[in-house]
Amino acid sequence: MLKEENRQMLLEFISALPENYQMMFQEIAEFAIQLGYTPKKTKSKDFALDFSKSKVKRTIMKMEIYDNGIKTNGPGLRLKFYASKDYSGIFRNGVQKVIEEFDGKYTGCYGCGKCKGEPEGYTYTYSNGTQVFRCGHELIAIKNVSSQNIEEIETLLTAQDEYFLRHN
């Protein structure tokens, strides 16, 4: 059950979105809430909500409305989905973009000790066969998300939540 203050904050966030994103972000947010994740406003200049679950002490998703003067293609959605190894191009593009954004400098295991056992993260395979590992403790930005992606987002969030519960 979501506290009233969290519900109001979510409604404020949804109403601040461009109208064409409101239903989609509402549906994704409600799904994360059903999984037990609570939206919490982040301390940043952007209006952003982190969805975390105290039982697993992890954040699974972030929704953002940018207020930094940079033109974007709409609000931001960042997810963790490394528990799934099979996902469509929009998600593969997110992993590729974060790997290439810093010329591959922030890849591999950081050795932070947060993983229990094997390193948790994404393995991106380039067309030439080169594989690059990206730490899974950072959220992956998904660009050009649309309502057509909702079902896959829900599948990925479910798999990630189940992974968190098993590896808690």
* Beta strands 131-135; 47-53: pairing state: unpaired
Is residue 157 predicted with pLDDT exceeding 70?
A: yes
Q: Where are the beta strands (DSSP E) in the chain?
A: 38-41, 47-53, 58-65, 76-79, 121-125, 131-135, 140-141
Is residue 113 predicted with pLDDT exceeding 60?
A: yes
d(CA 105, CA 3): 41
Average pLDDT for 121-139 = 93
Question: Which has more confidence, 156 or 168?
Answer: 156
d(CA 2, CA 73): 30
d(CA 128, CA 166): 34
pLDDT value, residue 83? 96
Task: Output the pTM of the full model.
Answer: 0.92
Is residue 23 predicted with pLDDT exceeding 60?
A: yes
- Asked if residues 107 and 132 have their Cβ atoms less than 8 Å apart, the reply is yes
pLDDT bin (cut points 50, 70, 90) of residue 36 is very high
d(CA 146, CA 152): 11
- Residue 126's DSSP bridge partners are none
Of residues 91, 95, 110, 112, the one with CA closest to residue 157: 91
Question: Which has more confidence, 162 or 109?
Answer: 162
Average pLDDT for 121-125 = 94
- Tell me the average pLDDT of the chain: 91
Average pLDDT for 93-121 = 86
d(CA 30, CA 24): 10
* Beta strands 47-53; 58-65: pairing state: antiparallel
pLDDT value, residue 68? 54
